[in-house]
Structure 1
Amino acid sequence: MYEIENLSDLLKGQLDEELEYVDYSAKSLTGPGENFGSVMLSVEIKCKNKKTNNEETIYAVAKTPPPSEFMQKIFKTDLTFKPEIEFYRTVFPLLQEFQKKHGMKPLQYHAKFLGGRLNLKNTDTMDSNAVLLIENIAVKGFKCADRLKGFDLETIKLILQDLANLHATGIALKLQCPDEFNKKVKPYVNIMIFGDDAGSENFVEDNIKATRDILGANEEVKPFLHAVIELLRKKCDNSPKEPFATIVHQDLWVNNLMLKEENGKFIENKFVDFQMCRYVSPADDLFFLLLTSVQNDIILEKWDFLVQFYHEQFIDNLKKFDVNTEPFSREAFDQEIKDSYQRQYVHASCMLFPLLMDKSKAKPIGKDFDPKNEPPMEPSEAHKKKLCTIVKLYNKNGWL
C-alpha cells in the first residue's frame, strides 16, 4: 500500500464535524502513459460518525510529486505544487463567493478540496511529503473521455460553457476587486512551465523532426511543411495583454476534464489538474483544448462555430457581472486569436507526443527515469492524424 504520512493532520478542518478519522488505504490511480507530472493515488478514508457510531468512507484522490527528478524539473514541481493547492484552498472559494455576490449560482466545475501541504514542517519548501487531497469524483460517475477519439460537438459545447464562465469570472474579479485579485489570485498564476529554459529547445527540435516525417509522408499537407517549421522556430510572446488576461488553465485536454454521463450523453463537466495555470489570454485555453481534444472532422468543419459559441458564452457571463463588454467584442477577441495561434501550435504539436501516445508502449516513470536512456517517443497513428488535421486547419484560416 502507498503511504501518506500524517493523513489525519492533513484532514483537520476539512471533515464534517461529526466525522472522526479512523484509517485509510491507498493504491495507484493511473497507469503508464496516463499521467506524467505527478503520482495519482486512489484513497479510501475510513471515518466514524460520532453521533451514530457508524463507519463512513470518504473516497479521495491524492496527488503527490513525481518520483523522477527529471519530471520534477520539467514540470517545475517545486514551484507549481503550492499554486495548485492554493487554487483549491483559496482561488476557487474566492471565485464562488464573488459569483454569489452577483446573484449567480457558484461554479461547481472542480472537485472538493480535502487538504494540502508542501511538507510535514509547515514551510514553503516542497519535498516528498507534499500532497494535494481532493474528492474522488469518479465514484460519482465522472470519467475521462477517449483521448484518442476526442469530444463530439455537444460535449465540447458543454465544456466551453464552463470554460467561458471561468475566464469571465477571472476578468470580472480583476476589474471590480483588483486588490483582492492581486493578493489572492495573481501569486498562483505566474509560473511559466515551458518555453523559458534551454530544455524547451529539445522539445521543439524533436517536434521539428517528427513534423518533417509526418507531413513529408502526407501529400495533402506536405506543401505546408516549410511554413510549419517556420512557425515552430518563431519565438513566442507569452506576455499577458489587457484587458483579456485572466485565469487560464493552460493544460486543458481530454484527460484533464472529467465528465458525467447520463443516457449516453455527457451532462456535467469538472476541470482537474491546476498546476500549470497562468495569467494570459483566454484564447490560449480555447486553442489548446480545441486542437488537442476535439474530433478531427469537427475541428475542420466547426472551428468558426465553436469560437463564436465560446465568445457568446464569454460575453453573456461578463454581462452577469455588469462588466462593460465593449472592449471584449468579437473583433477584439479575433486579435487574441491572432496573437495566440502561433504559440498554441507549438504548445499543442509538442504535447501530442504524450497526449496521444500508444499506452501499450508506455513505461512507468520511476525515480531513476532519464530520457537520455530511453528510446525517442514515436508519434502514434492518432498523433499523425491529429497533426495533419491541425495543419489543414491552419492553412484554411491563413495562419501558415
Structure 2
Amino acid sequence: MEHHQNIPEFPEWLDQNIFEEFLKLDFPNFKSINQFDIEQTCGKGENFTTLVLRVKFVVNLKDDSQVTTSYIVKLLPTTLSTRDMISSWKVFDKEKLSYSQYVPHFEQMYAKVNKKSRFGAKYYELTSPKTEEMIVLEDLGNRGFRNTNRQLGLDMDHTKTVLEKLAQLHAASAVYYELNGPYPYLYDRNLCSEEDKFQEFRETQAKSLIDALPHFGAEHLTYALKTYTSRAPDMYQAFAAKFENEFRCLNHGDFYCNNIMFQYDKNGKISETYFIDLQMSRYCSPAQDLIYFLLSSVSIDLKLSKFEYFISFYHSKLIENLKLLQYPKQLPKKRDLHVAIFNHGDWAYPVISLLLPLVLIDPNEKSNMDTLMDQDTEGDKFRNTLFGNPRIIQHYKKILPWAYNRGLFEYKNNQN
C-alpha cells in the first residue's frame, strides 16, 4: 500500500484505517486499500474557519479490479490560537447535528409528498470518535459538482436556482419546527461564543473601511458609519431578534457562493444545487440568508437592480413548498418578507464590510483568519489591500449608497 502526503498540515492521527468502514459501506466487495493520499481542497484564501482536506483512495476489490474514490474531511485549523477560538464556537457540534439529523429529515419530508429534494453531500457517521473534531462527507466533486467564479457573481439562472432550493430548505425547517418543537440552543446564534472575541477586530475593520471611503466617493457616509459601527453588535454572535408573528426557519447561516455547489448536464444546464458548510445555521427570519446571499454572491449587475425581484421570486417558492408540506400556520405574505428584510437589515453591514471584500479579492495566502484578526502591520496591510482593490471599489461605489439610502446604516436595538 502506497501513501503520499501532499499537505504540511497533515494530522498524524488521520490515517486510512478511519475510512475503511466507509469504503466497505460504499463498495460491498471491498478487499483492501491500495493507495491513500491527502490534499487540500481549497486554494489560498478560500476557507477561513476549518481545514478542509480531500482524502483519496485507490481500492482493491474482491474481483481483482480497482476503483478510485475520495472523501472530504473537515478539521479544526492547525494554528492553536485560531483553533481554540473556532472550537469555542461549537460549529462542529452544530454541523454534525444538521447533517446527521435535520437535513435527512427534511429530505424525507419531501419524499413523503413525492418530491425529490436533496440539500447536500452524504454524511458519514464515525463509529469510533476521534479525540480531534472531524466531519467526513461525500466528495461532491466525484459527481461533477463545482463552485462558480465567486468574483464574477451569480447570473440570473444560478441565482434563481439557489433561491428555489433555499426556499425548500427554509420551508421544511419551518414545518419541522411546528411538528417537532424547537431546535437546540446551538441554533440560537451563528457562533455560540461565551465571550465577544471580535470587538477589537470589528473596530479596526470599521476604521479601515471609513478611512477608505474617499476611494468610493463616499466621504459623506463617514458620520453615518462611525455612528452605526459604534453601536451595532456582532451579528454572527448575536441572538436573533424576534418580532411578533414573524415567519422563522432554520437559516444556513453562512450562505454565500463558496458554500453552494452546482452540477450541470451535458448541455451545460444546471441539474442540481447543493449546499455545504452547515456549521453556522441559526433559527430566525429567512431575511438573514437572503441578505447574506444576495449582497455577497450575485453579480453586481443584478444584486441591486433585481433585489426586490429576487425577494419576490423566493417568496413564491417558499409559499409553494410550505403548502406542499402542509405548514399549519398562516402563510407569510410577500409584504411580511419585505418588512423582515428591513427589520433584520443589520446583516447588511457585516456582509458589505467583511464578507463581500473576501469574495471579490484574488486568492491570497494572507487571506486567512489569523491575518484578519491581526491588529498590527500584517493585518493593516491586508485591510488596505482589501479596500484598495479595483473590483471592491467598483462594487462599493454602488452598494454603499444603496445600503445607506435604504436606512441599513441606522442602528435600532431589536434584541430581546
Correspondence for 2:251 = 248
Correspondence for 2:347 = 343
Correspondence for 2:310 = 306
Correspondence for 2:212 = 214
SS at match of 1:189: helix
Gaps of 5+ in 2: 410-416
Contact 1:80 1:191 in 2 (8 A): no
Matches within 5 A, 1:112-151: 112-116=122-126, 119-120=129-130, 127=131, 129-151=132-154
Q: Give distance in 1, aligned partners of 2:373 and 2:352.
A: 23
Correspondence for 1:354 = 358
The two structures, once aligned, show a CA RMSD in angstroms of: 2.9
Query: Which residue identity lines up with residue 232 of structure 2 in the other structure?
Result: K
Correspondence for 2:398 = 389
Correspondence for 1:232 = 229
My pick for the range that moved more, 188-197 or 312-321, is: 188-197
Relative to 1, partners in 2 of residues 1:370 and 1:291: Cα closer, same or farther, differing over 3 Å? closer
Q: 2:43 aligned to 31, 36, 52, which one?
A: 31
Q: Does 2:156 align with 1:153?
A: yes
Q: Does 2:45 align with 1:42?
A: no
Contact 1:243 1:327 in 2 (8 A): no
Relative to 1, partners in 2 of residues 1:207 and 1:140: Cα closer, same or farther, differing over 3 Å? same
Deviations 1:130-165 (A, max 9, x none): 321111112322211111111111111111111111
Q: Give distance in 1, aligned partners of 2:171 and 2:82.
A: 33
Relative to 1, partners in 2 of residues 1:217 and 1:383: Cα closer, same or farther, differing over 3 Å? closer
Report the TM-score, using the length of structure 1 for normalisation. 0.85
Relative to 1, partners in 2 of residues 1:359 and 1:118: Cα closer, same or farther, differing over 3 Å? farther
Residue 280 (structure 1) shift: 1.7
Q: 2:26 aligned to 15, 32, 36, which one?
A: 15
Q: Give distance in 2, aligned partners of 1:210 and 1:167.
A: 36
Relative to 1, partners in 2 of residues 1:309 and 1:332: Cα closer, same or farther, differing over 3 Å? same
Q: 2:167 aligned to 161, 164, 168, which one?
A: 164
Relative to 1, partners in 2 of residues 1:11 and 1:332: Cα closer, same or farther, differing over 3 Å? farther
Q: Percent identity?
A: 22
Query: Which residue identity lines up with residue 164 of structure 2 in the other structure?
Result: Q
Gaps of 5+ in 1: 121-126
Contact 1:48 1:55 in 2 (8 A): yes
My pick for the range that moved more, 107-116 or 229-238, is: 229-238
Query: Which residue identity lines up with residue 46 of structure 2 in the other structure?
Result: E
Q: 1:96 aligned to 99, 103, 107, which one?
A: 107
Relative to 1, partners in 2 of residues 1:388 and 1:214: Cα closer, same or farther, differing over 3 Å? farther
Report the TM-score, using the length of structure 2 for normalisation. 0.82
Query: Which residue identity lines up with residue 61 of structure 1 in the other structure?
Result: I
Aligned length: 384
Correspondence for 1:328 = 332
Q: Give distance in 2, aligned partners of 1:238 and 1:118.
A: 34
My pick for the range that moved more, 234-243 or 82-91, is: 234-243
Contact 1:68 1:369 in 2 (8 A): no
